[in-house]
A and B are shown apart, each in its own frame.
Chain A
Amino acid sequence: MNTTRDPLPAGDGRDEAAEQARILQEPQGAETAPADGLAPSHAAAPKPAPEPASEPITVPRVSPHPYATERAVEQAKKEARLGARRETLLYLDGVNKTFDGFKAINNLSLVVQRGEMRAIIGPNGAGKTTMMDIITGKTRPDSGDVFFAGDVDLTKHDEASIASMGIGRKFQKPTVFEGLTVEKNLRLSLAGSRSVFEALLHKRSGEENDRVEEILHTTRMVDKRHRLAADLSHGQKQWLEIGMLLAQDPELLLVDEPVAGMTDAETEETARLLREIAEKHSVVVVEHDMHFVRALGVKVTCLHEGTVLSEGTLDHVSSDPRVIEVYLGR
């Protein structure tokens, strides 16, 4: 975990950068997992950032106009600050959230790379759902940084704009539009304009139809397209919801307990579906079911009491004595 906080670019010794450095280098990771659990590519990727960032600052004269120069310097500073976050899709640092005195999220730091699939495990009350709420804008953190795609501060946006930026979310309890058919559920989720008036005047396009067909196939729902979502089984609703996420085509999918209440066969099928999705999207899966997490075969983060307890492969995490103590051993 420590390694995700990279040293700051050397080139800029200015105020914000110093401030940033202070935040980034706070000695908070002392009790966290050893670094050997991390994927090496992950640790190495953000390192080269300093070189390009340091250049423009030493060359202040960009244009004869002083304002343009000032703008360029600002931009360069911003780039420099970005350094550590640039390669990441989701970047949480020192996030805290307290509900009526209960610390739901306690100094949580988490980094998800572009194209990565991450499983998050943890006992009840570990803060998994609250973390999703914070990322999707439902809950505002008390303190800490939440950045998406490098420089988008998610704490400054609401659910709808975060969803439009490309973060999709599947709820723990399958939430679909019960009064609409499967197909209409997907059509409403398709990426595109979200204006009320355009919805009123909307005409179906061939491209849209193709996309809906494709998703119906991926989620194996072709023969149920005209059924009301209310008439679907629990597992089918879960898939419809995943299908809606696919239609939305987000960069990052947050999936909360996708296999809760599913049969073994359905669980396996869902793992297959998620792996297929992960080929094109970044995915964060929260799950209790260890077989399912094993079937996914991805890097695992274990949360406990709102903070990261351990991170690495499933074998690494499940052999961590503290994880065994709080979670697996019980």
Chain B
Amino acid sequence: MIIRYLGARVWILVAALVAAAILVPLANLALPANHPLHVPSYLVPLIGKYVCYAMLALALDLVWGHLGILSLGHGAFFALGGYAMGMYLMRQIGARGVYGNPELPDFMVFLNWQELPWYWYGFDQFWFAALMVMVVPGLLGFVFGYFAFRSRVTGVYLSIITQAMTYALLLAFFRNDMGFGGNNGLTDFKDILGYPIQADTTRAALFAASCIALALAVLCVGAIIRSKLGDLMIAVRDAESRTRFIGWRPEYVKLFAFTLSAVMAGIAGALYVPQVGIINPGEFAPVNSIEIVVWAAVGGRGTLLGPVIGALLVNYGKSVFTGLAPEYWLFVLGGLFVVVTIFLPRGIVGTIDHGWDALKARRRAKNREKGESEGTGNDPNLAASPAE
């Protein structure tokens, strides 16, 4: 029954993610290097990174695909989650830094800071950092959304201010006196929860954690879009003023979804940072946020499966392409967006769904024709609706 409730598609995706969480680490750790199914160690964090991107795309799609809020600033939530995790990892370095200061991270010693700024307190505790990974992006999303949605800012204007938000954060985090490592960001991580961060086993565990987190996010989004709230989100997307005139408050619906989406993006960022080993202000760059939109668009927005597939495919393409001709990647990305918008406006999954639905409708129509000739057609009373 629960399978029926969320739809088979959600469960297939969740099963695939759980399988990946078990099989990829196994294939990496348990199989000998010359085995044909062996997954090389460099691939584990790379795929793990894609999985984090997929979660980010899913978070964006919750507000874009289902609610029509085109956020061009989701990279900011991702980066904030990443910074919160990065701060924990920095504190874990302890006295093993270049300057050997047990309290202060290297960049603070370098800047001649005498003591830890107040906002770094508590980040030596994993639970606190884990909490902040969700609270900081969630709070920013909530406050930003509260003012934006209450003032009924919609459409392009909202997109522009989300873009401005991430750009403002980019500039702020570039400054050395912000206390987040400035231009260089946070890096040279050593341990996470006491395990060496470079070790294959740790990376395998992080990969598995990313897959599980994505699976949970898929379940969460799936449950929301199947609920009455999911219908309400579609309603707000299609005719916002109509929802208002039947008594709903679309600003609250948007606020809820936007905040949740920001939290999901933050978690994705926190899982991303230990796998790539660095977080710097570049993550706030507006172009990153636009890339997320491209992933969701390519996969098919509002389809749940689409953003995940889009993020995996585009990023795999990016890895391949930047290996071949790095300077052309941005052109390819831009071209991809144009091509998808013109020729595949529903995205990959959306187009397949649409084709499938059309096929089903045609088959149903054919069956009905057959049925009617056999006298088992529609109830004539119902068919005689005055509109016909």
Give chain A's interface residues, CB within 8 Å of chain B: 136, 138, 159-161, 163-164, 168-169, 171, 175-180, 184-185, 187-189, 194, 196-197, 199-202, 220-224, 233, 235-236, 239, 244, 248, 265-266, 269
Contacts and interface: CB of A to CB of B under 8 A. Distances in A.
Contacts of B244: 159-160, 163
A194 B247 contact: yes
A185 B239 CA distance: 11
Interface string B213-235: 00000000000100111011011
Contact of B231 (A138, A178, A180): A180
Contacts of A176: 239, 242
Contacts of B382: 222-223
Nearest to B382: A223
Contacts of A168: 245-246
Nearest to A190: B246
Interface stretch (B9-17, B32-40, B248-256): B248-256
B246 A223 contact: no
Interface residues of B, number: 30
Nearest to B227: A200
In terms of DSSP, what is the predominant structure of the interface of chain A? helix
B235 A188 contact: yes
Contacts of B386: 220, 265-266, 269
A307 B387 CA distance: 37
Most-contacted residue by chain B among A168, A180, A199, A223 (CB, 10 A): A199
Most-contacted residue by chain B among A201, A223, A239, A266 (CB, 10 A): A223
A128 B313 CA distance: 54
B238 A180 contact: yes
B322 interface: no
Given A164-B247, A168-B246, A223-B378, A196 B253 contact: yes
Contacts of A236: 387
B229 A196 contact: yes
Contact of A202 (B228, B238, B248): B228
B345 to A, nearest CB: 15
A185 B237 CA distance: 13
A159 B312 CA distance: 43
A44 to B, nearest CB: 34
A179 B385 contact: no
A269 B379 CA distance: 21
A281 to B, nearest CB: 15
Nearest first, the 8 closest Cβ-Cβ pairs linking A and B are A163-B247, A202-B228, A199-B229, A177-B235, A159-B244, A164-B247, A223-B382, A200-B229
Contact of B247 (A160, A177, A185, A233): A160
B227 A201 contact: yes
B246 to A, nearest CB: 5
A179 B252 CA distance: 20
Contacts of B231: 177, 180, 184, 187-188
B245 A194 contact: no
Contact of B383 (A169, A194, A223): A223
Interface in B346-388: 378-379, 382-383, 385-387
Contacts of B234: 177, 179-180
Nearest to B66: A179
A171 B234 CA distance: 19
Contacts of A171: 242, 245
Contacts of B248: 160, 188, 194
A131 to B, nearest CB: 15
Contacts of B243: 177, 188
